[in-house]
Structure 1
Amino acid sequence: MTVLVFGGSSQIGHYLLPLLAARDEPVLALSRTAQSPAQNVTWLSGRLPDAVPVVGDISAIFSFGPLNHLADWLQQVELPHAPRVVVVSSMSADSKRDSEVHTERELSQLIRDSEKVMVEACEKHGSAWTVLRPTLVYGAGMDKSLTPMAQRAMRTRVFPLPAGSGLRQPVHAQDLAHAALAALDNAAAAGKVLAIGGGERLPVSEMFQRVRRSLPVDTVPLPLPAWLLRTASRGVGKLRGPLSRLEADLIADNTEVTRLLGVQPRPFQPDAECWRL
């Protein structure tokens, strides 16, 4: 089996590549930039969708990058064999569908459209596919939500604590890597779009508190009351969407992913290593 990985340098790829390498299977990982050598992993130079080296006899494809680029490539490429395709999408496909921010609604539509095109391309190739839709991903210091907040707090020694009662369900990138590998091995997951969240649902305010407690330095808590956040959401463009969702539940039902893949994601108990790679 030759496995092709798009997004191998991502936080999910960071955990998946060692799992694949341990199976003693040829692993090819595509990257736009030079990567450190890894045992049983061959790095290819290129990018989706228009600069992917020709690779023969691919039996499985993982993708953790922009889904629209993968979909475009799958439409264009000729595959001599039908590979198993496992992709990680995003719960933003649903959670931002009715956002009050136009760009977020566009992103949600792009994700759904890309999933549809990817499925059509897989069916053209005769490839079985599985889509994982995670909630907020953390764990390898590469996410764009909790890690920037944690790193900023470590620099400034001040930790903003937004008020909010909406539920969150952060999922560790390593658990996603295990779920992706289980999807490869489990035929019952073929043709499924599976939501996946962490093993614990907690109020957004408690999620931020746990991030603060996980830091290796002391920080001064800076409570941000709801009235201030409502005012800010009306005036700060790039924060308007996230602030407007502080009272919304952004969670996943893990019933199907657990039943089909046997995956039990961990509760949200971060440590300092989650915020730096």
Structure 2
Amino acid sequence: MTIIHLFGASTPTGEAFRRQASCSKVLQPIKAYSRKNPELTPWDFRNPDSFKLDSPEEDSIWVSFGPIWLLAGCLEYLEQKRPKVLHKIKGVIACSSSSASTKRYAFNAYDKELVQKLRSSEERIQTLCQRNSIHSSIVRPTMIYGHVGPYQDSNISRLSKAIATYPFIFFPKESGKRQPIHAAQLAAIALKMATDIQTNALAAPKLLEVGGDETLSYFALLKRLQSSGSREAVKRRCRLFTIPNQLFFFLAAPIALFSLKRYEAILRIGADLAGFTPAGSLLQQPAALFPVVDYHGHGPDTLDA
């Protein structure tokens, strides 16, 4: 029997993974870990020595939706101090971020450091797994959104809140493309990877950049959110105005004096951050239109959950 050790369980993607995996005929059982949810097994990557195996004889697959740099450090510690833990790991599925590629030319210090942390952590995990004959799959999702159980994303939810709060928002006339992926779609992909590792490890990719099934301009994304929001938000009707790109970025320029990070985030509104493998094609399922409201009849904002 192969046990799934799930880290970052108290996230929308982690919660969706738990729900989906509980219905899997291949992957049982699951042990979910969290620093925040007292109902789950308490454990922190920053305290790797406290990791306990219920049965040292069981094979395992590690699935992590936590910070990839903490996972990398944890695995390296276990390799040095408790190598027997690694001997029973068949595979590691680690969630990184598309920022590892989309922000590689960032000029602000925060994003440059983030790219370095992401790419370095990916390499460290892959090298360690290769050294210990463990299959590794790194997933780089683009903009994750969705509300699953008690957990909600911190990306699209902020945009939805802005639309519901402000009377108007100015936007560049030609905005960049986005490919948002629902948390439950990402969970389904991780579940497929875990299943592949269990049954045919060669089928599980080493590195995968994935997005949702629709590619939208940033402005179209906001319009979709507005039309699919709560009745109160739709009734309030925030007005979305477009202005020439040169004027928009000229007006935003003073922000650079206070925060290069925020200014560069505004500049990215005009950049295309799409072109990733669509989730539906990987899962061999019909395309899910943004924002996911009902998927395969399993309720709002869920995939097989």
Partner of 1:249: 272
- Whether 2:46 is the aligned partner of 1:32: answer no
Read off the aligned partner of 1:221 and give its amino acid letter.
R
Cα deviation, residue 88, structure 1: 1.4
Cα deviation, residue 58, structure 1: 4.6
Read off the aligned partner of 2:45 and give its amino acid letter.
L
Please show how residues 103-182 of structure 1 align to structure 2 within 5 Å: 103-140=110-147, 142-154=152-164, 156=165, 158=167, 160=169, 162-163=171-172, 164-182=174-192
SS in 2 for 1:133: strand
Partner of 1:47: 44
Partner of 2:72: 71
SS in 2 for 1:62: strand
Q: Evaluate the alpha carbon distance shift between residue 210 and residue 126 of structure 1 in structure 2; reply closer, same or farther with a 3 A threshold.
A: same
Partner of 1:201: 215
- Spell out, residue by residue over 1:143-192, the C-alpha distance to the aligned partner (whole angstroms, 9 max, x if none): 222211212443x2535352242111111111111111111122234451
Percent of residue pairs bearing the same amino acid type: 26
Partner of 1:231: 251
SS in 2 for 1:22: coil
Q: Evaluate the alpha carbon distance shift between residue 233 and residue 138 of structure 1 in structure 2; reply closer, same or farther with a 3 A threshold.
A: farther
RMSD after superposition = 2.5
Cα deviation, residue 268, structure 1: 1.4
Q: Evaluate the alpha carbon distance shift between residue 191 and residue 200 of structure 1 in structure 2; reply closer, same or farther with a 3 A threshold.
A: closer
Q: Return the match for 2:239 from 209, 215, 221.
A: 221
Distance 1:109 1:13 in 2: 25
Pick which of 143-152 and 230-239 moved more. 230-239
Compute the TM-score of the two structures, normalised by the length of structure 2.
0.78
How many residues were matched structurally? 266
SS in 2 for 1:103: helix
Task: Extract unaligned runs of 5+ from structure 1.
Answer: 37-42
Q: Evaluate the alpha carbon distance shift between residue 27 and residue 152 of structure 1 in structure 2; reply closer, same or farther with a 3 A threshold.
A: same
State the structure with more CA Rg: 2
- Spell out, residue by residue over 1:181-227, the C-alpha distance to the aligned partner (whole angstroms, 9 max, x if none): 11112223445101111111111110111111111122322436332
Q: Return the match for 2:289 from 267, 272, 275.
A: 267
Distance 1:240 1:48 in 2: 33
SS in 1 for 2:152: coil
Distance 1:100 1:235 in 2: 15
Query: Are 1:82 and 1:126, in contact at CA under 8 Å, matched by a contact in 2?
Result: no
Read off the aligned partner of 2:265 and give its amino acid letter.
P
Q: Evaluate the alpha carbon distance shift between residue 88 and residue 265 of structure 1 in structure 2; reply closer, same or farther with a 3 A threshold.
A: farther
Q: Evaluate the alpha carbon distance shift between residue 232 and residue 200 of structure 1 in structure 2; reply closer, same or farther with a 3 A threshold.
A: same
Query: Are 1:162 and 1:229, in contact at CA under 8 Å, matched by a contact in 2?
Result: no
Pick which of 214-223 and 248-257 moved more. 248-257
Compute the TM-score of the two structures, normalised by the length of structure 1.
0.86
Query: Are 1:161 and 1:224, in contact at CA under 8 Å, matched by a contact in 2?
Result: yes
Query: Are 2:98 and 2:140, in contact at CA under 8 Å, matched by a contact in 1?
Result: yes
Task: Extract unaligned runs of 5+ from structure 2.
Answer: 295-299
